């Protein structure tokens, strides 16, 4: 982040109608578009006209040094923060102008969010943590618990269903958090440094699980990381520097989920 007085709009702003190449090489309309997004914390500009597109089922790595604005970009894209200027378009609809309540509903139903420290509710069991988004959407307890059990199983932590986060390892917590983020079968998963608090082995294992499950579910993933190894899981990589975005490369993995 820096103190630049005006946004840098040098990066050409994408249109939601621009075609994107998906991981299997087909052209696809973008599922999520961030166009010329500006965001400031008081007088401090964090985003200065950032642009981004995410295709359905695509894994997009957003990289950059600490303080470059990549987490702010994710929060803006996920509708947690409303951009000061610019637009966020999801499924062809501008969501950045929606009310906080509408964006909250969207995050509950269409988006999943995964944080560096999992941020599970420490008082709830793993099963209840995962069931929570479904309960918020009006599901019955038994139905939500059954779905939570299935998603915990998909992330290989079904045996933790009645365990509370303080009694879990970091890797286990992050798997449970991933299951919580995926339980509503979102169109987009926003993952902010999902392995940042884990050791190398656990981090790789968690990333493999996230990528595998996201591929199976056809969920697009916006993966925020400053770790090149984690970024390599992406189909594309976008570099954020001083609040602006630059597409670095296209990693054609063609279904390689490693």
Partner 1 sequence: MSSPSLATSLRLAASGGRSDHVRIGITAAGAFMTTLLFFLAASVGLIGPTDGPYRFEVLNQPGLRPGVIISLLLLTVPTLIFVGQCSRFGAPARDRRLARLRMAGARPRDVVRIVALETGLAAFGGSIVAAVAYFVGRRWFATEHIATITTETEIGSRGILLEEVNATVRYAPTDVLFPAWIVVALVAVVPVLATGFSVLALRRVVLSPFGVNRSTPSTPPRLLPVVLFGAGTAALMSFSAVVRLLDLDRRAFPLVALTGFIFFVMIATGLIIGGASIAAATGRFIAPRTDRPSILLAARRLIAAPYTSTRATTSILLAVFIGSAVQAVRASFLAGTDPEDTFYATTFSLLNLVLVAAIVLSCASLAITTTEAVVERRRTLAALKAAGTPRRTLAASLFAETLVPLVPSVVLAASAGLLSARGVFGSRVSSWSDERGEVILVDVPLPVATPALLGVCAIAVSVLATAASLVPLRRSFDHAELRTAA
Interface ranges with partner 1 (CB under 8 A)? 71, 75, 78, 80-81, 101, 104-109, 111-113, 115-117, 119-125, 128, 132-133, 135-136, 139-141, 164, 180-181, 192, 197
Going by their DSSP bridges, the two strands 85-90 and 32-41 should be labelled as antiparallel
Residue 125 to residues 89, 160, 167, 198, 242: CA-CA distances in angstroms? 35, 8, 10, 21, 40
Output the six-digit token pair for 62: 């957003």
Nearer to partner 1 by Cβ, of 20 and 47: the residue is 47
Nearer to partner 1 by Cβ, of 20 and 152: the residue is 152
Nearer to partner 1 by Cβ, of 72 and 245: the residue is 72
Minimum Å gap between C-beta 104 and partner 1 is: 5
Minimum Å gap between C-beta 99 and partner 1 is: 12
d(CA 190, CA 224): 8
- With residues binned 3-state (H G I as helix, E B as strand, rest as coil), the percentages for the chain, rounded to 5, are 35, 25, 40
Minimum Å gap between C-beta 55 and partner 1 is: 23
186: nearest Cα among 32, 19, 2 = 32
Those residues with Cβ within 8 angstroms of residue 38's Cβ, 6 or more apart along the chain or in another chain: 7, 45, 47, 48, 49, 50, 83, 84, 85, 86
d(CA 45, CA 8): 11
Minimum Å gap between C-beta 215 and partner 1 is: 22
Minimum Å gap between C-beta 162 and partner 1 is: 10
Output the six-digit token pair for 25: 């090489």
């Amino acid at each position: 982040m820096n103190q630049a007085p005006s946004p840098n709009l040098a990066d050409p702003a994408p249109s939601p109608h621009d075609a994107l190449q998906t991981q299997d090489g087909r052209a696809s309309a973008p599922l999520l578009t961030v166009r010329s997004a500006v965001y400031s914390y008081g007088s401090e500009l964090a985003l200065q006209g950032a642009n981004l597109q995410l295709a359905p089922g695509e894994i997009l790595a957003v990289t950059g040094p600490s303080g470059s604005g990549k987490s702010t970009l994710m929060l803006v894209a996920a509708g947690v923060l409303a951009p000061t200027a610019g637009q966020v378009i999801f499924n062809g609809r501008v969501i950045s102008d929606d009310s906080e309540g509408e964006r909250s509903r969207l995050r509950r139903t269409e988006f999943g969010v995964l944080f560096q420290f999992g941020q599970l509710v420490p008082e709830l069991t793993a099963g209840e943590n995962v069931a929570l988004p479904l309960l918020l959407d009006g599901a019955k307890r038994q139905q939500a618990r059954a779905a939570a059990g299935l998603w915990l199983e998909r992330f290989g932590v079904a045996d933790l269903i009645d365990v509370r986060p303080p009694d879990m390892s970091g890797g286990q917590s992050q798997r449970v958090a991933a299951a919580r983020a995926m339980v509503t079968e979102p169109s987009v998963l926003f993952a902010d440094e999902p392995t940042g608090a884990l050791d190398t082995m656990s981090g790789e294992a968690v990333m493999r699980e996230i990528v595998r499950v996201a591929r199976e579910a056809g969920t697009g993933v916006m993966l925020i990381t400053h770790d090149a190894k984690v970024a390599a899981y992406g189909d594309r990589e976008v570099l954020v520097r001083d609040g602006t975005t630059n597409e670095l490369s296209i990693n054609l993995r063609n279904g390689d989920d490693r």
